[in-house]
Amino acid sequence: MKEVLLDTETTGLSSVNDKIIEIACIEIEDHIPTGEKFHVFLNPEMEVSQGAYDTHGISKEFLKDKLKFKDVAKDFIKFIDGKKLVIHNAEFDLAFLNKELKEVGEKQISKDNIVDTLNVAREKFPGAQNSLDALCKRFKIDNSRRQKHSALLDCELLAKVYIELLEKKEPTFEFDLDAQDESIQNVKSIKDRKQIIVQITDDEKKLHKEFLQKELPKSSMLN
């Protein structure tokens, strides 16, 4: 199943008065990135509040030659269409996105197709700090590059947090011990590699010694 990790940055905190200045989306399938991304900076045609600038460091000057939301709306909708959206604090992003989608005559995003990782984290860790930074710290995810908020970087971090919240670890492989040689003992999973002991017979040792005596001189001649 394909899903899209999504994040935005804005000119401020009010979805009524402020606008989106960055949208980032990363597509995943079965919780693995597909390599498909949607990432744009947008000209809001308004000032960026000081509080917002302190958070993400994106200035009005930087945005003045960027596309407007109406210019990318159709491509954005096409990218996310039919996919579940994974958003941290979805209420914030959806309020901005749906306001701007409505203004340009595009269909709004349904809340029914959203996974809010903030809500998932609150259910798993009630009473704890569940910001993206706090979750990175809890799951030992390196977020040292996150000096400022960045929609694209935050999506990359959210991908790792999402996997941890779902407890979708790398698979372990169970071996059929009945089909294994008796010399391999007590093997239950790939996690128990230190328990794998292969006994080498005397005949195997003899053959190996003969191989080395025969092949090593040839190697020396090639060097």
Residue 150's identity, in one-letter code, is: S
Task: Give the pLDDT score at 2.
Answer: 96
Phi first, then psi: what are they for 85, rounded to 5°? Answer: -100, 135
Delimit the CATH 3.30.420.10 region(s) of the chain: 2-166
Counting Cβ atoms within 10 Å, is residue 206 exposed (0-12), middle (13-18) or buried (19+)?
A: exposed
Architecture of domain 2-166: 2-Layer Sandwich (3.30)
Higher pLDDT pick, 170 / 98: 98
Nearest to 149 by CA among 61, 74, 52, 59: 52
pLDDT digits (tens, 9 = 90+) for 158-217: 999 999 999 865 433 333 434 433 333 333 333 333 333 344 556 655 665 565 555 544
Asked if residue 106 has pLDDT above 50, the reply is yes
Task: Give the pLDDT score at 27.
Answer: 97
Higher pLDDT pick, 86 / 168: 86
Task: Give the pLDDT score at 192.
Answer: 39
Asked if residue 112 has pLDDT above 70, the reply is yes
Quickly count helices (H) and strands (E) in the chain. 8, 5
Count Cα atoms within 13 angstroms, Cβ side, for 157.
24
pLDDT digits (tens, 9 = 90+) for 45-55: 999 999 999 99
Residues catalogued as catalytic: 149
Element (H, E) at 26: strand 20-29
Please name every residue paired with 41 in a beta bridge, in sequence order, or none if there are none. 22
Asked if residue 219 has pLDDT above 80, the reply is no
Residue 220's identity, in one-letter code, is: S
Task: Give the pLDDT score at 189.
Answer: 37
Mean pLDDT score, 24-28:
97
Residues for the chain: how many in total? 223
Task: Give the pLDDT score at 147.
Answer: 84
Phi-psi region of 140 (alpha: psi -120 to 50; beta: other; left: phi over 0): left
Helices (H), 81-143: 90-103, 117-124, 132-138
Distance of CA 217 to the CA centre of its chain: 52
In this structure, the number of other CB atoms found within 10 A of the CB of residue 54 comes to: 11
pLDDT digits (tens, 9 = 90+) for 114-148: 999 999 999 999 999 999 999 999 999 998 988 88
